[in-house]
Each structure stands twice: as C-alpha cells, then as structure tokens.
Structure 1
Amino acid sequence: MNTENETFTNDTSTNLTINNTLDFIVTTFITVLLLFIMLTMGCTVDGNKLLTHIKRPCGIMIGFLCQFGVMPLIGYVLAIAFQLKPVSAIAVVLTGCCPGGLGSNMLTFWVDGDMNLSICMTLCSTLLAMGMMPLCLVIYTTKWEDLGNISIPYERLGISLVSLLIPISVGSIINYKWPNKARVLIKIGSVIGVILICIIAVGINWLYKDMWIMDTAFLVTGIIFPWIGFASGLILAWIAREPWERCRTISLETGIQNTGLCSTIIKLAFPNEIAAEMIFFPMVYSCSWIICGITMVAAYKIYKGRSQKNSETHKTMTDNVEENITFTSYATSKNRDED
C-alpha cells in the first residue's frame, strides 16, 4: 500500500495534502457500514410496491429528469454565473452529472419518504449513468475543455450496482421471512446511519481540511449546489402532483449525488496538479448536503411532532364534546321519561 503523501500545488500556490492511507482506511470503514445500512434499508422494501413503481414509473421518470436533466444544467449555470475557471467548472458539472448517492436512502427513511421509490431511483440512476454521464459531459463541458482526457469508470459503476442490489435483496428477503427481525435491524440501521453521517462529515474535514481555502466562488458554488438540487426536485415533484412522501423522496434523490464516484473520476482522468484543484469540490458538496439533509430531517421531525400533538389535542377535545353530547342526550331523555 502506498503510504506516501501526495502533495499538489494549485494555481493559487496553496499546498493541498491528501493522505492516501487514511483515505483508504476511512473509505473502507464507511463502505462496510454502508453495506449494512443498505441491508437494513432493504428490510423496508415491499415487493408489491416495488413492482408498482416499476410498472408505473412516474416517480422514477421524474427522478431521471431531475438527476440527468436538472442537476447537470444547474451545475453548468452555476459555473457560468460565478465565472469559474475551466478546471473548476468541469468539477462542478461532473458532480452534477453523477448518479444519486446512498445517503438519500437513509434520509428518505428518516423523513418517512417512499423507501421503495428511493431505492428504485438510486438503482436506476446508477445503471443509467453508464450512458447518461458521458452524454451530459459532452453537452455541458465542451465549452471549457476537450473531453478526451475524461474516462468514466464503468467498473466502479458496476461495483456500485452490485453493492446496492445484494444487501437490498438480502434485506427484502429478511423482511419477507422474518418481519420481526427486520424491524429490529431497521432500528439498528437507523442509529448506525446517524453515526455514519457524523463519521463522513468529520472524516471529510479531517482528510480534506484544506478544502475550505479554495477559491471563494468555487467554495460558494459547492455549498449552494445541493440546496438548489433539493429545491428543484421538490418543485418538479410538486408540479407533477406527486404525493408529499414522494416529493420528499425525489427532492433528496435529486440533491444527494454520488460524490465518491465523482472523486474517482477526477483522480483517474486528470493529471495530479489539476486533480488537486478539482478533488475538493465533491467534498464540499458532501458537507453541504449533509448539513442540508440534517436540517430537512430536523424540520420534518418538528413538524411531525407538532402535527401529532395537535391531532391528539383535537381528538381529546372531540371525545370530550361527544361525551358531553351523550350525557346531555341521556339526561334529557331521562327527564322526559320522568315527566
């Protein structure tokens, strides 16, 4: 294993150091946790509902439009609006062209979204990315640079598909045969998911601590990009008159990109001195969607808690009114009988 630190210098003469060994260890640990979490997410899958989404793929089609139509376009518009350098602009567009990330499945579970739709969208976007990513890159990055140096790691996409399909399939089987055990696994998975989100946030800031000193326009683009993605997915789903649980799901699937895949493409496709400047954008994007996602979950939990409280209060008041009406009716009837 190469334990040597790779040090690159960007155009602003800032030294950006990445420790490959720590990166490998953290990535491996996170991958193991993700596989277990995907197994627990598979425990939420309902086979009949999954088939319904496949037979009537309205939600999946909206997600496809958001993933490979809206997100690359947003990246392109942001790059133009902030007048980014060609290398920076390509990093932004490349992030927008990536398929959905696994974090969307966790957050969808926490906001009571449509888990079956979320898993379908993640699988479909990863599969379709094999053709859509090169197409989107051709459309949106030829303004800045020749695409001859950019290669799509199809092996990585294939591994991502397998890493999704196997644990989800195992989880769905557990849910079918042992539903009680599935419920326990879901609870464990939700707790580990919280821990994993924290590990990812801390790990990114530890391994890529120099990312916050990049060009200001580049940094701001990375921060606002996922927020715009979340909003765009929500609006398009609402326009399509999807139920609110699907609106939340499509919003999360749109805003959360597979930044790990984006980082791999950058490392494989560009020389070290260029990769050093580009690699931090998907990391900033990840930190931003984590903050946005946690904010959305917290807001939803507060809203849900207040709604339940108001519902219980209303129910109590209704029950009291009905009891009073019943008692009054009984008393009136008794008085009439006595007369």
Structure 2
Amino acid sequence: MKLLENISKFAGNTFAIWVIIFAIMAFFIPSGFTWIAPHISLLLGIIMFGMGLTLSVDDFKGIVKAPKSVFIGVLAQYTIMPLLAFALANLFQLPPEVAVGVILVGCCPGGTASNVMTFLAKGNTALSVTVTAVSTILAPIMTPSLTLLFASKWLPVSAGDMFLSIVQIVLIPIVLGVVIRLLFQKQVDKSMKVLPLLSVVGIVLVASAVVAVNKESIATTGLLIFSVVILHNVLGLLLGYLLAKILKLDFQDQKAISIEVGMQNSGLGSALALAHFAPVAAVPSALFSVWHNISGPLLATWWGKRSSKGQ
C-alpha cells in the first residue's frame, strides 16, 4: 500500500509531464491508443467515482460559510468560459466541429485538478473544492443548456441527450462515491492517498485516445486549435482573477476563482464530443487537457512562491 501511495504522489506531482508524453506518443503511434476511445465514458465515470469518494458534507459547508465567494465562482465558471469560447470561435472562424468542441469544453464544469493547483498556489482550497463540487453537480443542467445556446449556430445540439450522458458519466458515479464513503468511511480514508493515481491514469488515457483518433485533424489544424485553446485558458484565468478582484474578494479567493474558471473538466468535454458530435470536436478538449496541465502548475508555482516571499 505504501508503494502505491508513493507512486500516486509521484504521478500527481508530475501529472502534466505524463499528459504531454502520452499525447505525443498517441500522435506518432495512434494504433497503440485508438482502442481506448470506445471506453472514454467508462474512464470518466471511474474518475468521477473517485471524486465522489473524496467529497464529504464539509465540502459543501462553504456554501453556507462563504456564499458570496461560492456564487461568484460558480457564476464565473458558467459565464466567462462559454462566452470566451463563443467569441474565439467567431473571431478565428473555426470549422463547425472545432467551434462546437471549443464551446463544449468552455461549458463544462471545473476540473478536479484545479483543487490541487489552488492548494499549490496557496489559495483558498476549501473554496476551490466547493466550487468544483457545486459546478459539477449543476453540470447536467448547465452544460447542455449553454452548449445549446452557444453552439447551435454551427451544429444541431440535443440538450436532452447530453443531459442523460452527463447524468450517467458524472452525476451517478459521484453520488455512488459519496454514498460509499458515508458507508465505509474508514476503509475509504485509508485508500485516499491512492486516488490521485486513478485520476492521472484516467485523464492521460482519455487525452491520448482523443489525440490518436484525431491524428490527421491535429496535423492539419492542430496549431490553430492549440492557439485558441491557449487563449481560452489564459483569458479564463485572467478574467476569473479580475472579476474576483473587482468584487473585492480576498487574494486567496481571487487565486481560487481564477484557477477554477481557467481549468475545465476537459475529460467530460472529450466524452461528450465523441458521443454527440464528430471525433474532431473532441480535439479542443484533448489539447485543453494538455495545455491547462502546463499553465496551471506554472501559475500555481508562481503564486505559491510569491505567497512564501510575502510571509
């Protein structure tokens, strides 16, 4: 068990490196990874189940303790990123499938990696966890509705089918995880340190599969999509921070909301894109997964060092 814990800690600390390495491998040796694509929804369900195991009633107490900060975080999550995605899709005149893919990842809830990044940045980790949990619980309603609103200009969107998909691969696994933790808390707490390994392996496999399936599209339009993804992420981080600052939240909350807004659940974006649109629509989510696991640690490290110097 100790060995698994050490491996899990190492994998969590080097998450970005593994995403990049396997994405590159999938691009050059796609046949080794395409078999994963049909199992992306299952992988995401396992990741969400792991997230459910980490949640407790205390994670939702932030709604009562700091309702203003939680409301701002969730509102920013579901306004800034979808609006940015819509603006970038129009500005760069993206092909329909790619435009929908960018908008889809923008309409997803925050990713669990944001909690780790907030901790490293010495931000308000409790707020980050609460905002991630609330935005994820709201995802079955918010993600299909916003995708329908912003993406139907390019392609038909079935909000009802997306709702069912998110319930199946996000909501049900999370609820199961929460219930199992309530019933078997001691056993779950003992294995808590191994859970990051589950998330790392899952996200790495999802990103690799999407890259492998879309090798040709990435080769021809990858630079354009990657440029849009970088802008989407960086502007999300910046606008999330500025909004929290304008609304006079403290610096720890500003950092948490910035990271929450900028780091999306790109695994969910990939799964929904493959299930409801063309495979190329999953490319923005895959590249987002690669990029935000570079920008997130860089920003978190910089903020963390600044906090240490300040102290």
Q: Give me the TM-score of the superposition, normalised by structure 2.
A: 0.72
1:111–1:301 Cα contact (<8 Å) kept: yes
Percentage identity across paired residues of the two chains? 24
| CA distance 1:79–1:33, change in 2 (3 Å) | closer
Match of 1:248 in 2: 255
Match of 2:299 in 1: 296
User: Is 2:219 the partner of 1:213?
Assistant: yes
| Partners of 1:165 and 1:212 in 2: CA distance | 36
1:201–1:287 Cα contact (<8 Å) kept: no
Match of 1:285 in 2: 288
Q: Which structure's CA Rg is the greater one? A: 1
Q: Which moved more, 1:146-155 or 1:244-253?
A: 146-155
| Partners of 2:124 and 2:208 in 1: CA distance | 31
Residue pairs, 1:107-118, within 5 angstroms: 107-118=117-128
Question: Over residues 129-165 of structure 1, what are the superposed CA-to-partner deviations in whole Å (9 max), with x where a residue is unaligned?
Answer: 2222233223212322333598314243354234445
Q: Which moved more, 1:107-116 or 1:159-168?
A: 159-168
| Partners of 2:226 and 2:39 in 1: CA distance | 27
| Partners of 2:118 and 2:107 in 1: CA distance | 21
Q: Give me the TM-score of the superposition, normalised by structure 1.
A: 0.67
Structure 2: stretches of 5+ with no match in the other structure: 1-29
| CA distance 1:163–1:238, change in 2 (3 Å) | farther
| CA distance 1:149–1:131, change in 2 (3 Å) | closer
Q: Over the residues paired in the alignment, what is the CA RMSD in angstroms? A: 3.8
Structure 1: stretches of 5+ with no match in the other structure: 1-15, 309-339
Specify which of 265, 273, 283 is matched with residue 258 of structure 1. 265
| Partners of 1:52 and 1:37 in 2: CA distance | 17
Match of 2:151 in 1: 141
Match of 1:333 in 2: none
Comparing both structures, which one devotes a greater share of its residues to helix?
Answer: 2
Residue pairs, 1:91-240, within 5 angstroms: 91-148=101-158, 151-157=161-167, 159-165=169-175, 167=177, 188=193, 193=196, 197=200, 200=203, 204-205=207-208, 208=211, 210=215, 212-215=218-221, 216-240=223-247
Shift of 1:237: 1.0
| CA distance 1:29–1:131, change in 2 (3 Å) | closer
Task: Tell which has more relative contact order, 1 or 2 (C-alpha 8 A, sep 6+).
Answer: 2
Shift of 1:295: 0.3
* Structure 2 residue identity aligned to 1:213: A
Number of residue equivalences: 279
